[in-house]
Amino acid sequence: MPGVEHRIYRVTPSGHPARLLQITDTHLGERPGTPLLGVDTDRSLRAVLEQSLAAHTGLDALLATGDLADHGSLPAYRRLREYLDPTGVPHFWLPGNHDDRALMASVDPAGELMVNDLRLGRWQVILLDSQVPGEIGGQLGEAQLDLLRRALEAGGREDLHALICLHHHPVPIGCDWLDQQQVSDADALFALLAGFPLARALLWGHVHQPLDRDYRRLRLLATPSTCVQFAPGSPNFQADTLPPGYRWLHLYDDGRLETAVERVHGVHFSVDLQQKGYL
- Give me the residues that bind Fe ion (CB under 5 A), please: 25, 67
Residue closest to 79 by CA, chosen among 23, 29, 40, 114: 29
Q: How far is the CB of 265 from Fe ion (least distance, A)?
A: 22
CB of 157 to Fe ion, least distance (A): 35
Distance CA 247, CA 110 (A): 27
Which of residues 202 and 227 has its CB atom nearest to Fe ion in the complex?
Answer: 227
CA separation for the pair 142, 148 (Å, rounded): 10
What angle is formed at CA 228 by the lines to CA 227 and CA 231, rounded to 5 degrees? Answer: 145
Closest C-alpha to 164, from 130, 207, 206:
130
Q: What is the distance between the alpha carbons of residues 277 and 236, in angstroms, rounded to a whole number?
A: 9
| 173 vs 194: CA distance, rounded Å | 21
**Separation between Cα atoms, residue 259 and residue 111, nearest integer Å:** 28
Q: What minimum distance in Å lies between the beta carbon of 206 and Fe ion?
A: 6
Question: CB of residue 124 vs Fe ion: minimum separation in angstroms?
Answer: 26
CA distance 279 to 277: 6
Residues 6+ apart with CB under 8 A from 193: 152, 164, 199, 202, 216, 218
Q: What is the bridge-based pairing of β-strands 199-204 and 161-165?
A: parallel
- The single-letter DSSP state of residue 131 is B
